[in-house]
Amino acid sequence: MHKNGYEVIAAIDVGSNAIRMSIAQVDARGNVKTLEDLYKPTGIGRDTFATGRIQAASLHDLCDTLVGFSRVMKQYKVRHYKAVSTSGIREAENKEYVLEQIRVTSGLEVRGINNTEARFFMYKAIRELINKAKTDSHSGTLIVDIGSGGVEMSAYSRGNLKFTEYIKVGSLRLSEILAGLEAKTLDFPQVMEEFIDSKISFFTPLLSQARIKSFIGLGGGLRTIIEMCRAFDSSAGQNFVKSDTLKRLYLKICGMTTSQIAKEFKLAQNDAEVLMSSVILFHNFLNMTDAEGIYAPMSSLRHGLLVDMVDELLDTPGRHEAIGDIISSVWYIGEKYFIDEEHCRYIEKHSTSIFDQMGKIHRLGQRERLYLQVASILHDIGKYINPNSHDVHSYNIIRFQDILGLSERELDIIANIARYHSHEIPSQTHENYRMLESGDGIIVSKLAAILRVAEALDISHKRKVKGIELQVWERTINFNIWASEDMLLEEWNFTGNAAFFEEVMGYRPVLKQRRVQL
Q: For residue range 149-181, what is the model confidence (pLDDT) as tens digits?
A: 788 888 887 767 777 787 877 777 776 777 667
The percent of residues above 90 in pLDDT, for the chain, comes to: 53
- Predicted confidence at residue 2, as pLDDT, reads 60
pLDDT digits (tens, 9 = 90+) for 385-440: 999 999 999 999 999 998 888 999 999 999 999 999 998 999 999 999 999 999 99
Name the nearest CA neighbour of 241 among 198, 283, 180, 187: 283
User: Is the predicted pLDDT of residue 265 greater than 90, yes or no?
Assistant: no
Confidence of residue 4 (pLDDT cuts 50, 70, 90): low
User: Is the predicted pLDDT of residue 47 greater than 70, yes or no?
Assistant: yes
pLDDT digits (tens, 9 = 90+) for 365-386: 999 999 999 999 999 999 999 9
The percent of residues above 70 in pLDDT, for the chain, comes to: 93
Confidence of residue 183 (pLDDT cuts 50, 70, 90): low
Q: Dihedral, CA atoms, 445, 448, 450, 451, nearest 10 degrees?
A: 180
User: Is the predicted pLDDT of residue 182 greater than 70, yes or no?
Assistant: no
Strand order in the sheet with 80-85: 32-41, 18-27, 6-14, 80-85, 111-112
Confidence of residue 356 (pLDDT cuts 50, 70, 90): very high
Query: Worst-scoring range by mean pLDDT, 10-19, 200-209, 336-345, 449-458?
Result: 200-209
- Predicted confidence at residue 135, as pLDDT, reads 44
Strands 240-242 and 293-295: antiparallel
Cα of 406 vs its chain's centroid, Å:
6
User: Is the predicted pLDDT of residue 139 greater than 70, yes or no?
Assistant: no
Whether 63 contacts 44, CB under 8 Å: no
- The mean predicted confidence, pLDDT, of the chain is 88
User: Is the predicted pLDDT of residue 131 greater than 60, yes or no?
Assistant: no
Confidence of residue 1 (pLDDT cuts 50, 70, 90): low
- Predicted confidence at residue 195, as pLDDT, reads 82
- Predicted confidence at residue 255, as pLDDT, reads 82
- Predicted confidence at residue 430, as pLDDT, reads 95
Whether 173 contacts 49, CB under 8 Å: yes
Whether 144 contacts 125, CB under 8 Å: no
pLDDT digits (tens, 9 = 90+) for 270-294: 788 778 888 888 988 898 888 999 9
Whether 68 contacts 10, CB under 8 Å: no
- Predicted confidence at residue 153, as pLDDT, reads 83
How many beta carbons lie within 10 A of that of residue 359, not counting itself? 11
Confidence of residue 300 (pLDDT cuts 50, 70, 90): confident
Q: At what angle do helices 56-75 and 95-106 cross, to 10 degrees?
A: 40
User: Is the predicted pLDDT of residue 39 greater than 90, yes or no?
Assistant: yes
Query: Worst-scoring range by mean pLDDT, 93-107, 220-234, 385-399?
Result: 220-234
- Predicted confidence at residue 382, as pLDDT, reads 96
**Of 162-166, 226-230, 300-304, 492-496, where does the model show the most confidence?**
492-496
User: Is the predicted pLDDT of residue 516 greater than 80, yes or no?
Assistant: no
Name the nearest CA neighbour of 83 among 99, 64, 60: 99
- Predicted confidence at residue 134, as pLDDT, reads 45
Whether 224 contacts 276, CB under 8 Å: no
Query: Worst-scoring range by mean pLDDT, 106-120, 140-154, 397-411, 478-492?
Result: 140-154
Name the nearest CA neighbour of 11 among 110, 127, 77, 150: 110
- Predicted confidence at residue 136, as pLDDT, reads 46
Higher-pLDDT residue of 363 and 150 is: 363
